[in-house]
Amino acid sequence: MQDLRGITYDEFVILKQKDFPQAEGDLSKLLRDIGLAAKVINREVNKAGLVDILGMTGSRNVQGEEVQKLDEYANEQMIKYLRAGGQCCVMASEEEEDFIHVEDDHAVNAKYVVLFDPLDGSSNIDVNASIGTIFSIYERISVGVPSIEDVLQAGNKQVAAGYVIYGSSTILVYTSGNGVNGFTLDPTIGEYCLSHPNIKTPENGKIYSINEGEYNNWLDQGVRDYVNYCKENNVEEKRPYSARYIGSMVADLHRNLIKGGIFIYPSTTKATKGKLRLLYECNPMAFLVEQAGGLANDGKNRIMDAKPNELHQRIPIFIGSKNMVIKANEFLVQ
Ligand code: P6P
């Protein structure tokens, strides 16, 4: 297989377009629009401490969460570049109560729908921990005026998904259904360059990621039993595992994708349906992890088979290395 390391994201997307004979280049353009928006977000994330863009806006979003200035900025950039690119007719964002119908003339025939979390993990912004943008792309299914049915599609209908992690380096990771590839932003040329070709997540891992501060609030005793299993001494099965939890889904999942591991956000007394959102956090991450050889379920059922009922619905998630997810599921009451 040709070594494509160093090829830019834009070149790679066009090259891979050949994998889809019916492709007309619209998805390639859309993927490039998202990459551009993320470059602009990255520029502000990287200097947030130097300009008055840290801290809170003083408002709360539809989730009831305090909106960070950088959250708002990232949301504005995603909307701006997706609208300008003209490849999507409908957008939905964690920061927007309802979906956005792009009515501009140049987008009237656009066939794609984009759902995104513009800046996930934003509670980490002010402490310089890694955060990220997550996106999920579908083909529209409505005829005529776009409608809520365009955004309430099951994750198994995604045509592409990915994230951009703003960390020690800025890496864009995406899939369009033919494997997972990662591109590191080279700030000297302003291009994402292929650095992680054909990512495969290890079937086994030694990392478990869960907020153990919620130990007594997990609704399923099986989650406590699994975490205790992870802590048990068992030389043969190489336990205890290592606990790693940043509190930023993109950062925790990126580490586990590369090194192997399991990330769990279960149902709790405070978040009885889990905390993470199905449409723009769990589905795109599930698509990526499954494409990399891992698993993603709600403890029992595949995340990407969940039928969405509303835009911001939440779902418990067990995601990561195949054999770790299978093992965790065994502890849960089925
Ligand atoms: P907790 C960040 O706010 C986020 O949405 C995810 O990025 C992260 O995995 C999760 O919430 C952390 O939640 O309850 O452990 O702080």
The whole-number average pLDDT for the span 29-38 is: 97
Residue 11, burial from CB neighbour count under 10 angstroms (0-12, 13-18, 19+): middle
Residue from 276, 278, 279, 285 whose mutation best tests the ligand 1 pocket (most atoms within 8 A of CB): 276
pLDDT score of 49 more than 90: no
Please name which of 168, 327, 313 lies closest in space to residue 261, comparing C-alpha atoms: 327
What CATH number does the domain located at 207-330 have?
3.40.190.80
Distance 247 CA to ligand 1 centre (A): 5
Q: Which atom of ligand 1 is nearest to the CA of 263?
A: 9
- The token duo for 158 is 């995604």
The rounded distance, in Å, linking the Cα atoms of 311 and 62 is 11
Please name which of 167, 170, 139, 198 lies closest in space to residue 12, comparing C-alpha atoms: 198
Please write the tens of the pLDDT for every residue from 228-240.
Answer: 999 999 999 999 9
Please write the tens of the pLDDT for every residue from 195-206.
Answer: 999 999 999 999
Distance 275 CA to ligand 1 centre (A): 7
- Cis omega before residue 240 (within 30°)? yes
Please write the tens of the pLDDT for every residue from 175-215.
Answer: 999 999 999 999 999 999 999 999 999 999 999 999 999 99
Please write the tens of the pLDDT for every residue from 100-138.
Answer: 999 888 888 899 999 999 999 877 877 889 999 999 999
The whole-number average pLDDT for the span 299-322 is: 98
Please check whether residue 194 is in contact with residue 4, taking contact to mean a CB–CB distance below 8 angstroms: yes
Please write the tens of the pLDDT for every residue from 82-105.
Answer: 999 999 999 999 999 999 999 888
DSSP annotation of 57 reads: E
Distance 68 CA to ligand 1 centre (A): 14
Helix/strand/coil for 139: strand
The rounded distance, in Å, linking the Cα atoms of 58 and 71 is 12
pTM over 0.85: yes
| Domain boundary assignment for the chain | 9-196, 207-330
The rounded distance, in Å, linking the Cα atoms of 277 and 315 is 6
What CATH number does the domain located at 9-196 have?
3.30.540.10
The rounded distance, in Å, linking the Cα atoms of 172 and 183 is 5
pLDDT score of 31 more than 60: yes
* pLDDT value at residue 69: 81
Residue 126, burial from CB neighbour count under 10 angstroms (0-12, 13-18, 19+): middle
What does the DSSP assignment read for 270-299? Answer: S-BTBSSBIIIIIHHHHHHHHHTT-EEESS
Residue for token digits 């759902």? 115
The rounded distance, in Å, linking the Cα atoms of 195 and 183 is 5
Residue from 63, 67, 70, 120 whose mutation best tests the ligand 1 pocket (most atoms within 8 A of CB): 120
Q: How many CB atoms lie within 10 A of CB 196?
A: 17
Q: Measured from the CB, is residue 249 less than 6 Å from ligand 1?
A: yes
Strand-pairing partners, residue 204, are none
Q: Count Cα atoms within 13 angstroms, Cβ side, for 45.
A: 30
- Supply the residue whose CA is at minimum distance from atom 14 of ligand 1: 211
- Supply the residue whose CA is at minimum distance from atom 9 of ligand 1: 249
